[in-house]
A and B are shown apart, each in its own frame.
Chain A
Amino acid sequence: MSDTHPIRDEDLIAFRSGALGERAREAMAARIAADPEAQATLAEWDRQDAALAALYGPVAEEPLPEALRARLAAAGTAPRRHPALALAAAVALLAIGAATGWFAALSTQPGPPVLTVAESALKAHVTYVAEVVHPIEVASDQADHLAQWLSKRLGHEIKAPDFGAEGFRLMGGRLLPGDTTPAALFMYEDDTGRRLTLHVLPEGGTQNSAFQFLSSGQTQGFYWHDTGLSYAVIGDLDRDRLRAIAMAAYDQLI
């Protein structure tokens, strides 16, 4: 190939960094195959890249430093989209709950409807999570039917959110009695058999509420109210995980 002009470094750079079309790339590959000097240059660049990867590659595999993780976590719970996570309110309620017991705390609250979902959700959770034979009425393999049926009975379009990222898969759902309209219960299970429930109740007016925390012994949950529907997520999980699941539900149900 002594009759062709030598391959310039610029040509090799374009070749290596994906800037050539298919035909130009094939043509350049053929020229390189006949040019030991170009091959040596590419091999030298490979060694440079390998040295850089050896020097700095491991940084990308490290867990993120605490300061970065804290900043991301704060952004993830920022009140921009989520219902404010008014933790002050939740903590206050928790304090009351701790002092007097959950149901006592409920009974002393003047009755905004959002508390109805919390109380009935907790009762239903305790009742059905312990059920071995019939925890649900319609299983997740009939997910479409489940969503249609519950939507029709509640008079609202509802669907079961996906908590796969949190390690929980949908088992199915059931219809629950309510004061004025029925409520829906979705049950989820992780691979250790731990269960959590999501309750949806069509009541409470049009105003939205912050996430509220509730607890009764090991059983804890978050409930909130969003454009005509009240929700509660209940489980025997720690608060941070429950909150993550509640936020996943909020994001998917919005």
Chain B
Amino acid sequence: MSLLDEIEAAIPNLRRYAHALLRDRDSADDLVQDCLERALSRRHLWRGDGPVRAWMFRILLNLHRDGLRRSPRRHLVAVDTLPKEPSGPAPQEAHMDLREVQDAIGRLPEDQRRALLLVALEGMRLSEAAAILDIPEGTLVSRLGRARAALRDMTGRTRPATGSKEGRA
């Protein structure tokens, strides 16, 4: 496969990730377009060290960080101000409410969202995700732990067994 083919092959994954990261089709595709542009303009610098997909994810995340610095319009909502799920039996075995998950992803701190989506949505191994995020694996693991827990809280699910004592009065 040529480099150009590998770049093209990575795009569906990049789009999926960008859509989850931004939750807005237009800005997600703009981000992927910028990523593609940057990758193509730098492909003569590509030395073939490591997977093309990881290289493109790093480009996309750099652009995402740059874009946030330019227009810091997203705001975080503190977890404890979120509406809790209406009282009632916790639907532990049921499918999760997708809209609720979408909202919850949007409320995660940016670094947790980036990390969680690489692993939970893109199915990356810890080593690959840590390399893309340029953080040690241990840092990634604790970040993922916080993201998983926050997601669980925001979707109204409490930790089974011990956790339920804190979560529900």
A residues at B contact (CB < 8 Å)? 9-10, 13-14, 17-19, 36-37, 40-41, 44-45, 47-57, 59-62, 64-65, 67-68, 71-72, 75-76, 80
User: In the docked arrangement, what's the CA distance between A72 and B145, Å?
Assistant: 38
Q: Which residue of A lies closest to B152 (CB)?
A: A44
A37 with B13: CB separation less than 8 A: no
A54 with B161: CB separation less than 8 A: no
B12 nearest CB across to chain A (Å) = 4
A51 with B15: CB separation less than 8 A: no
Set A18, A19, A45, A64: member contacting B11, Cβ < 8 A: A64
B12 with A50: CB separation less than 8 A: no
Query: How many interface residues does B have (CB within 8 Å)?
Result: 49
Please, which residues of chain B bring their CB within 8 A of the CB of A41? 159-160
A93 nearest CB across to chain B (Å) = 28
Please, which residues of chain A bring their CB within 8 A of the CB of B149? 9
- A18-B125, A72-B4, A76-B4 known; A67-B148 Cβ under 8 A: no
Number of residue pairs spanning A and B whose beta carbons lie under 8 angstroms apart: 113
A72 with B36: CB separation less than 8 A: yes
Q: Which residue of B lies closest to A63 (CB)?
A: B12
Set B17, B120, B145, B155: member contacting A49, Cβ < 8 A: B120
Please, which residues of chain A bring their CB within 8 A of the CB of B162? 37
Please, which residues of chain A bring their CB within 8 A of the CB of B144? 13, 17
Q: Is B101 an interface residue (CB 8 A)?
A: yes
The A-contacting residues of B in range 94-123, CB under 8 angstroms, are 95-96, 98, 101-102, 105, 117, 119-121
B29 with A68: CB separation less than 8 A: yes
User: In the docked arrangement, what's the CA distance between A19 and B119, Å?
Assistant: 12
Q: Is B40 an interface residue (CB 8 A)?
A: yes
Q: Is B64 an interface residue (CB 8 A)?
A: no
B141 nearest CB across to chain A (Å) = 5
A52 with B160: CB separation less than 8 A: no
Q: Which residue of A lies closest to B145 (CB)?
A: A9
A9 with B148: CB separation less than 8 A: yes
Please, which residues of chain B bring their CB within 8 A of the CB of A47? 95-96
- A48-B120, A68-B29 known; A19-B20 Cβ under 8 A: no
B20 with A17: CB separation less than 8 A: no
Q: Is B66 an interface residue (CB 8 A)?
A: no
Please, which residues of chain A bring their CB within 8 A of the CB of B142? 10
The A-contacting residues of B in range 57-116, CB under 8 angstroms, are 92, 95-96, 98, 101-102, 105
- A53-B121, A71-B37 known; A40-B161 Cβ under 8 A: yes
User: In the docked arrangement, what's the CA distance between A45 and B134, Å?
Assistant: 24
Q: Which residue of B lies closest to A53 (CB)?
A: B121
